[in-house]
Amino acid sequence: MSTQASSHALPHIGAHDSHHEELGFLRKYVFSTDHKTIGIQYGITSLLFLLFGFSLMMMMRWSIARPGEPLPLVGGLLEKILGDVAAKGVISADLYNEFGAMHGTIMVFLGVVPLAFAAFGNYVVPLQIGAIDMAFPRINMASYHVYLMGGIIMLVSFFVPGGAAQAGWTSYSPLATTIQTNGQVFLLTGLVFLITSSLLGAVNFLATIIQLRAPGMTWMRLPFFVWAQFVTGFLLLLAFPPLEAAGIMQLMDKLAHTSFFLPTGLSVAGGHISGGGNPLLWQHLFWFLGHPEVYVLILPAMGIVAEVIANNTRKPIWGYKSLVYSSLVIGFVSFIVWAHHMYMTGMGTKISTFFQTTTMIISIPSVIILTCMFLSLWGGSIRFNVPMLFALAFLPMFGIGGLTGLPLGFNFSDLHLHDTYYVIAHFHYVVAPGTIFALFAGIYYWYPKMTGRFMSEFWGKVHFVGSIFFMNMVFMPMFAQGLSGMLRRMADGGINYSAAKVPGAIGGLTDNIIWLNQFVSVAAIGLGLAQIPFIINFFWSIKHGKEITSDNPWDATTLEWQTPTPPPHGNFVKPIAVYRGPYEYSVPGQKTDFTPQNQA
């Protein structure tokens, strides 16, 4: 064993790394093994996918509000690109289904997860633990490229004959198998790539956090963001493979004509099947991933919010250990709640009862985390900058999302709410104004470290106000629609179920409820417009934003701010050691109101 490990000395990094040999364009920006470059690659790619997924939804909203009418502005273009499914610029039901399936798939697998876990994780985690890079830099690079290939396969599927997958992001069999187009094959192939990418990423993150913590960086000195990424890494590592298995089996059903998910007696157009399969098997395997996935989406967001709140209240986060233990409990319990997505499948009341119980249990650590963050605000001298505004907005928005989930977690109330717009409103509150707001907070917060300049504070506030207003205008009415029984996945927005159209029918939708479709669609356009200041701000500030005056512009304690800006290859100019916890703000007796972790 070398002296380095036995003396527990620092990783050998030195000043020579800052004037590292110049790499060519390809090695520097495309095939980079530097965790910071890879983080930015992930960040930009996933933001583009988020934008793309969002624009799919905007077109769907048009179809919901104005079924059968040609899409303004882009209708003609859509017909040119996609052909008959968009004849005369009208979104057909088939195209609506394609957009619906791909909106979900893209937002979850290509947008939010890569942004929350891979982009922020790559950029921030090694810096926060005082490492010079990830444990396996080349695997890190491969992980990004595999992710990109998966994304391209998904995008290409729009242009194959028959178009993209149409069976929802959940790809329930037999529907997904029996639709006679190849979209599903592309979706599943893309998914296998994405799962491989996230597997490589998860192994890398876990190994990095376990192995490469700087001397003195004990587990309870880790910033909460690192803890959140750590638990997320385990979820990705262990929950994704069952979906990969399911994906392989569905591919076999599609391509080798097996019957894993096709029951006996099912008649399939154009082919003989053996039958004997089990449609519920797909749902079990899918949701075995699907539910931990929810926490993959939310935990990194909570991590970012904790960092921003501690920094901008100038006081330690309240209940750091409770946060850590809660996220570990969430990690474990999230593996035994999956079938609460399946109350309506007839899997049996006893099984439903079990999963209803575990579902209620998992809400406890989530509430603890949220409560800790609210309590952290108490008595702080809060700086209301843009990252803090987004972080503050996260709290009630995630709160609404979480609490409206309880009626879905009880199987008796789920009977009424299942598959309605209420469900859409619920999980979008968790992911859109929840996770995505936290991601915005993270972008505004770490942007100065990446570029050396702040993003515009004014336009950031415009972005914030527009986003939070329109976000609620979009999703709040959906609760009302869902409670009135309006179902999801209808290209015409439920017009055929309107009470006016079928007088006397029980459960018909009133005109008011159907009118809300138009209201929501207008709000969705507003939400889209509210993102324009962000996009301009994001690119404009790279060159023209206010320059930072120190490497630690937010006066933060964690290690990512104790590096040059932007951090060079190898990150730290001199070996770093850690002497204190992550949130030593306003410690009495100290000269400043923040004490960096590496200050002896």
Partner 1 sequence: MDIPYQTEPRKDTGLFNAKLGIWLFLASEVMLFGALFSSYILLRVGAAPGDWPHGLLNIPLGTINTIVLIVSSITVVMAWASLKMKDFAAFRRYQTVTLVCALGFLGIKSYEYNDKFSHYEIQLKDGRVADGHLKETTATEYVLHHAHYVNKAEAAKVTHAYQEREIKHEEITVKKEDVKYMENYGPWHSTYLAIYFTLTGLHALHVIGGALVIAFLWGPGAVMWKTDPERYTNRIEVSGLFWHFVDLVWIFLFPVLYLL
Alpha-carbon distances of 19 from 16, 222, 409, 565, 573, rounded to whole Å: 6, 30, 56, 14, 11
Q: What's the gap between Cα 357 and its chain centre?
A: 26
Q: Which position among 74, 155, 175, 237 is part of the footprint of partner 1 (CB under 8 A)?
A: 237
Nearest alpha carbon to residue 358 among 385, 337, 381: 337
Of 6-14, 57-65, 147-155, 391-399, the window that binds partner 1 (rule: CB under 8 A) is 6-14
Alpha carbon distance 233, 118 (integer Å):
10
128's enclosing H/E stretch is helix 120-128
Min dist CB 494 to partner 1, Å, is: 36
Q: Which position among 23, 74, 245, 548 is part of the footprint of partner 1 (CB under 8 A)?
A: 245
The answer to whether 13 contacts partner 1 (rule: CB under 8 A) is yes
Of 7-15, 74-82, 302-310, 383-391, the window that binds partner 1 (rule: CB under 8 A) is 7-15
> What DSSP string runs through 400-433?
HHHHTTHHHHSHHHHHHHTTBHHHHHHHHHHIII
Rank residues 49 and 240 by Cβ distance to partner 1 and give the closer one. 240
Min dist CB 10 to partner 1, Å, is: 9
Min dist CB 1 to partner 1, Å, is: 5
- Helix spans in 157-223 (H): 175-178, 183-211
Rank residues 6 and 267 by Cβ distance to partner 1 and give the closer one. 6
Looking at residue 507, the DSSP 8-state letter turns out to be: T
Binding residues among 206-235 for partner 1 as defined by CB under 8 A: 206-207, 210-212
Phi and psi, residue 446, nearest 5°: -95, -5
Rank residues 259 and 435 by Cβ distance to partner 1 and give the closer one. 259
Min dist CB 294 to partner 1, Å, is: 18
Of 168-176, 245-253, 359-367, 506-514, the window that binds partner 1 (rule: CB under 8 A) is 245-253
Contacts with partner 1: how many residues (CB under 8 A)?
59
Do 192 and 301 form a contact (C-beta atoms < 8 A)? no
Cβ atoms < 10 Å from Cβ of 330: 25
Q: Which position among 27, 72, 160, 264 is part of the footprint of partner 1 (CB under 8 A)?
A: 264
Rank residues 157 and 571 by Cβ distance to partner 1 and give the closer one. 571
Query: Residue 509's beta-bridge partner residues?
Result: 498
Binding residues among 548-587 for partner 1 as defined by CB under 8 A: 569-570
Could you tell me which residues come within 8 angstroms of residue 536 by beta carbon, excluding any fewer than 6 positions away? 459
Buried b (16+ CB within 10 A) or exposed e, 214-250: bbbbeeebbbbbbbbbbbbbbbbbebbebbbebbebb
Q: Which long-range contacts (CB under 8 A, 24 or more apart) does 354-359 make?
A: 356/409, 356/410, 356/411, 358/333, 359/409
Q: Which position among 50, 107, 249, 395 is part of the footprint of partner 1 (CB under 8 A)?
A: 249
Min dist CB 8 to partner 1, Å, is: 6
Min dist CB 204 to partner 1, Å, is: 8
The half-sphere exposure of 570 on its side-chain side, counting CA atoms within 13 A, is 17
Min dist CB 136 to partner 1, Å, is: 6
Binding residues among 266-295 for partner 1 as defined by CB under 8 A: 272-274, 276-278, 281, 284-285, 288
Cβ atoms < 10 Å from Cβ of 74: 16
Q: Which position among 34, 94, 244, 584 is part of the footprint of partner 1 (CB under 8 A)?
A: 244
Rank residues 288 and 320 by Cβ distance to partner 1 and give the closer one. 288
Helix, strand, coil distribution of the chain in percent, nearest 5 = 65, 0, 30
Min dist CB 281 to partner 1, Å, is: 5
Rank residues 260 and 538 by Cβ distance to partner 1 and give the closer one. 260
Q: Which position among 47, 135, 486, 523 is part of the footprint of partner 1 (CB under 8 A)?
A: 135
Min dist CB 257 to partner 1, Å, is: 4
Do 227 and 327 form a contact (C-beta atoms < 8 A)? yes
Binding pattern to partner 1, positions 149-168, x when CB under 8 A? --------------------
Q: What does the block give as tokens for 480?
A: 């009302």
Question: Given the rule CB under 8 A, which residues bind partner 1?
Answer: 1-2, 4-6, 8, 11-14, 16-17, 131-137, 139, 199, 202-204, 206-207, 210-212, 237-242, 244-246, 248-249, 252, 256-260, 264, 272-274, 276-278, 281, 284-285, 288, 569-570
